[in-house]
Amino acid sequence: MTVKRQFINGEWVHSNSNKVRDIINPFNQEVIAQVTESDETDTEDAISAARKAFDLGEWSTTPATERAHIVNKIAEFILRDKEELAELESLDTGKTVEESRGDMDDIAGVFRYYAELADKDGGEIINSPIPNSVSKVVHEPVGVCAQITPWNYPLLQASWKLAPALATGNTLIMKPSEITPLTTIKVFELMEEAGVPKGVVNLVLGAGNSVGAELSANTDVDLVSFTGGIDTGKKIMQAASSNVKKIALELGGKNPNIIFADADFEVAVDQAMNAVFFHAGQICSAGTRVIVEKSIHDSFVDALSKRVNKIKLGSGFDKSTQMGPMISQEHLNKVANYVENGIKEGAAVVTGGKRPEDPDLQNGFFYLPTILTNCTTDMKVVQDEGFGPVITIETFNTEEEAIKLANDSIYGLAGGVWTKDIAKAERCVAKMRMGTVWINDFNLYFPHAPWGGFKQSGIGRELGRLGMEEYTETKHIFHNLKPESIGWF
């Protein structure tokens, strides 16, 4: 098996230690690839390459239209190689190939969106209050950006960082999750093919506590953009204080899905299921906290469990599969413990709550789609991010109660509300403390709208214009057209 390499200063190189990591297919635990294992010294090399490239200024002074052209080419190449990328993503994560194809379309869309925006910002002239002067505001690249991504949407989360950073003229070092680096490696090949200059994009492949920690602490890095868990986010925030680097954090969620009795029942059931069991619940914005009006609780749970019992688990490469495995044995254990603790706290298992018995699934990290009732807001199973295929169900009687339950979380990433009463929906969303709120929908996102969290779900925004601004510094330029001595001293 050819060992996949890191990309530093325009060269594909083995790590300094020559250590290698096996990449595992979560469906059957087969080794699907081997990648070089970077450490702190490789990371320093990559940072130094990005620093030199930025200080040289070739990329930041390339006309924005030319940068846009290259970013657009990356989108084209992603679509050209969509099938290969989708299959790689499914091998690596266990998600269905159909879902991965959708991800690749979204990813190409993100590169296109930022290519489109790249040359639109010409700065702003300010109405200066000082006579004989010109005052203007321009946006410049931040500099050297470290980008750290998780395993659940490996290339999608990478694209949200790569595209705006490139469009605005930064240089960067990316570290994908050590569990799922394959599509990110492939996209670095595509960026090379698209003509991104040497040293502008660098890729290191290794563990969080070595490579990730170095990226966060190194004082030659100007910005660290991270997507992942809250505990890691806190460590990165601390490490980033070394040189007060800019930080952008996209962290976890424990997202409420409020269902009123007057909602379209069938659609709400269908989407409540989709909101959690898509990608086996391994989604930051999964609607795992269902908060349902008491009068429809029994019929809702009954309808939901009937549908959930039919979810087909299997290989992402089998067309009939609807839900794949957990990413790893470690994560499977975490999900199983999370449910067991919930049961000890008093939750009742309506369906699932264990591993499947199907002999064909025993080599994979599968967990059954699970519904827990009798849940109350004080339980850990309701408060903690399980990041698995588990719905907890709470009930409410009044609108105020529903909002109170929805907001009772340290997180504030996303949430949904289902009702046919437009005024009620608007009253609810105005009070819901989350970065994204859906009315009669769930889990939708697109490049044009910002994504990010309130409270401990993060700092900053990705996607949209705000996602681009994260990669710029704002400079005010004041030009005195008639300089004169002040005569004070």
Ligand X SMILES: C[N+](C)(C)CC=O
SS3 475: strand
User: Taking CB under 6 A as the rule, does residue 443 contact ligand NAD?
Assistant: no
User: Taking CB under 6 A as the rule, does residue 37 contact ligand NAD?
Assistant: no
Listed ranges 6-14, 148-156, 166-174, 291-299: which one lies at the site for ligand NAD (CB under 6 A) = 148-156
C-beta nearest to ligand X: residue: 284
Dist CA 252 CA 246 (whole Å): 20
* Closest C-alpha to 342, from 373, 381, 375: 381
Judged by CB, which is closer to ligand NAD: 199, or 208? 208
Burial category of 362 from C-beta neighbours within 10 Å (exposed 0-12, middle 13-18, buried 19 and up)? exposed
Residue indicated by tokens 């619940």: 281
Q: Which amino acid type is present at position 89?
A: E
Sign for the pseudo-dihedral over CA of 269, 402, 344, 410? positive
User: Taking CB under 6 A as the rule, does residue 213 contact ligand NAD?
Assistant: yes
| Contact of residue 156 among ligand X, ligand NAD, none (CB under 5-8 Å per partner type) | ligand X
Q: Is the distance from CB of 111 to CB of 78 less than 8 angstroms?
A: yes
Judged by CB, which is closer to ligand NAD: 235, or 404? 235
Q: Which amino acid type is present at position 377?
A: T
Judged by CB, which is closer to ligand X: 156, or 368? 156
Residues in the chain: 489
User: Taking CB under 6 A as the rule, does residue 333 contact ligand NAD?
Assistant: no
Residue indicated by tokens 């899905």: 257
Dist CA 336 CA 267 (whole Å): 29
Joined tokens for residue 117 = 């925006």
User: Taking CB under 6 A as the rule, does residue 314 contact ligand NAD?
Assistant: no
Listed ranges 29-37, 230-238, 273-281, 376-384: which one lies at the site for ligand NAD (CB under 6 A) = 230-238
| Contact of residue 297 among ligand X, ligand NAD, none (CB under 5-8 Å per partner type) | none
User: Taking CB under 6 A as the rule, does residue 178 contact ligand NAD?
Assistant: yes
SS3 47: helix
Q: Is the distance from CB of 471 to CB of 465 less than 8 angstroms?
A: no
Joined tokens for residue 232 = 């890691």
Q: Is the distance from CB of 47 to CB of 215 less than 8 angstroms?
A: yes
Smallest distance, Å, CB 463 to ligand NAD? Answer: 9
Judged by CB, which is closer to ligand NAD: 260, or 387? 387
User: Taking CB under 6 A as the rule, does residue 208 contact ligand NAD?
Assistant: yes
Joined tokens for residue 285 = 């914005």
Smallest distance, Å, CB 108 to ligand X? Answer: 15
Listed ranges 89-97, 248-256, 317-325, 477-485: which one lies at the site for ligand NAD (CB under 6 A) = 248-256
User: Taking CB under 6 A as the rule, does residue 289 contact ligand NAD?
Assistant: no
In the residue annotation, 84 being an active-site residue is answered as no
Smallest distance, Å, CB 388 to ligand X? Answer: 13
User: Taking CB under 6 A as the rule, does residue 255 contact ligand NAD?
Assistant: no
Interacting residues with ligand X (CB under 6 A): 152-153, 156, 283-285, 445
Smallest distance, Å, CB 283 to ligand X? Answer: 4
Q: Applying CB under 6 A, which of residues 109, 169, 252, 386 lies at the interface with ligand NAD?
A: 252
| Contact of residue 232 among ligand NAD, ligand X, none (CB under 5-8 Å per partner type) | ligand NAD
Smallest distance, Å, CB 433 to ligand X? Answer: 18
| Contact of residue 246 among ligand NAD, ligand X, none (CB under 5-8 Å per partner type) | none
Q: Is the distance from CB of 379 to CB of 346 less than 8 angstroms?
A: yes
Judged by CB, which is closer to ligand X: 206, or 281? 281
Percentages helix, strand, coil for the chain (3-state, rounded to 5) are 40, 20, 40
Helix axes 182-194, 82-93, angle to 10 degrees: 160
Joined tokens for residue 160 = 């949200």
Q: Is the distance from CB of 236 to CB of 148 less than 8 angstroms?
A: yes
**Per-residue buried b or exposed e for 7-24, using 16+ beta carbons within 10 Å of the residue's own CB:** bbbeeeebbbeeeebebb
| Contact of residue 435 among ligand NAD, ligand X, none (CB under 5-8 Å per partner type) | none
Say which of 250, 385, 394, 470 is annotated catalytic: 250
User: Taking CB under 6 A as the rule, does residue 338 contact ligand NAD?
Assistant: no
User: Taking CB under 6 A as the rule, does residue 228 contact ligand NAD?
Assistant: yes
Listed ranges 112-120, 143-151, 295-303, 364-372: which one lies at the site for ligand NAD (CB under 6 A) = 143-151
| Contact of residue 210 among ligand NAD, ligand X, none (CB under 5-8 Å per partner type) | none
List CB contacts of 147: < 8 A, sequence separation 6 or more. 158, 161, 162, 165, 172, 173, 174, 175, 224, 225, 226
Residues annotated as catalytic (active site), given as ranges: 250
Q: Which residues bind ligand NAD (CB under 6 A)?
A: 148-153, 157, 175, 177-178, 207-209, 212-213, 216, 227-229, 232, 235-236, 250-253, 284, 385, 387, 413, 453, 458
